[in-house]
Structure 1
Amino acid sequence: MFSSSKKSNGGGKPVQGATTIIAPGTVIRGDVSFNGIIIVQGRVEGTLRAESDNARLTLSEEGSVIGEIHAPQVALNGQVKGDVHAAERLELAEAARIEGNIYYKVLEMLAGAQINGKMVHQAEAPKRLPAPDAAAAEPA
């Protein structure tokens, strides 16, 4: 259960690192930085921020977060009061309740999930076009 081997995160991309569980009845006040997988079954009052580009945050139905969430992979089924930034994928289950804006690249939302805020799609960064030819830019 608590190993540093590769794990599937539901999105097909392997997650490396330890699994951290914030148990029911536990309250953490302050910002939390994490790698690997974090499962919130208790309450966090502060910002949750992934430090790696393949981390995953899961919020269970009994869990809650008061503060922002920043992670590549986010799966929510509890209550969030704050903005959610999912750089890759955001999954909202039936009991998800979000009071804040969500920023996502890919969104999966089941019937019953509620959002009281803006939904902002984060597109891939546009590819840079080659610089125009200097000779073609001069008037004839």
Structure 2
Amino acid sequence: MFGKKKQPPIPPIKSLVAEGTRIDGHVSFHDGLRVEGEVVGDIRAIQEQSSILVISESAHVTGQISADHVIINGTVKGPVFAMDLLELQPKARIEGDVSYKALEMHQGATITGQLKPMGSAGMEEDKPTLKLAANNG
């Protein structure tokens, strides 16, 4: 009502790559995916609806990541595309360029690459949102 955009509901996480599991190849998913193991290949959300991807502290991904809402607390070697929100938790380690619409980065997270905000060209109200998360612990 007052200039705030309504956020789509967060989809449920329906799939898991468990710790101790390694996938060699590309992964496509609907709704939500949690990675606790290792993926060597691209991870992409099928863009028919909103999506969430969680890369846990124990996870290692070598390849491109693409989803609406991306939460990283593990290691990613490759580019990251977050169409809505990218959350970088304290133990996130990214080696690659990061594209995002909104970014939340906790103290301790590291990025070796470029930060590239997404948005509509020339739209003043579509500037990316940057937020430094407070360390509450």
Q: How high is the TM-score relative to the length of structure 2?
A: 0.80
The match for 1:36 is 31
Q: Which structure 1 residue ranges, 4+ long, deviate > 3 Å from structure 2?
A: 15-18
Matched residue count: 117
1:44 maps to amino acid: V
Choose from 58, 61, 70 the match for 1:62.
58
What RMSD in Å do the two structures reach over aligned CA positions? 1.7
Q: Does the Cα contact within 8 Å between 1:78 and 1:95 map onto a contact in 2?
A: yes
5 Å-filtered alignment, 1:1-140, equals 12-16=7-11, 19-52=14-47, 53-126=49-122
Describe the SS at the equivalent of 1:14.
Answer: coil
1:101 maps to amino acid: D
- What displacement does 1:123 show? 1.6
Q: Does the Cα contact within 8 Å between 1:18 and 1:35 map onto a contact in 2?
A: no
2:53 maps to amino acid: L
Q: Deviations over 1:91-115 (max 9, x none)?
A: 0000000000000000000000000
Q: Does the Cα contact within 8 Å between 2:99 and 2:118 map onto a contact in 1?
A: yes
Q: Which runs of 5+ in 1 are unaligned?
A: 1-10, 128-140
Distance 1:27 1:98 in 2: 19
Tell which deviates more after alignment, 104-113 or 44-53: 44-53
Q: Does the Cα contact within 8 Å between 2:93 and 2:111 map onto a contact in 1?
A: yes
Larger of the two Rg values belongs to structure: 1
Describe the SS at the equivalent of 1:95.
Answer: coil
Q: How high is the TM-score relative to the length of structure 1?
A: 0.78
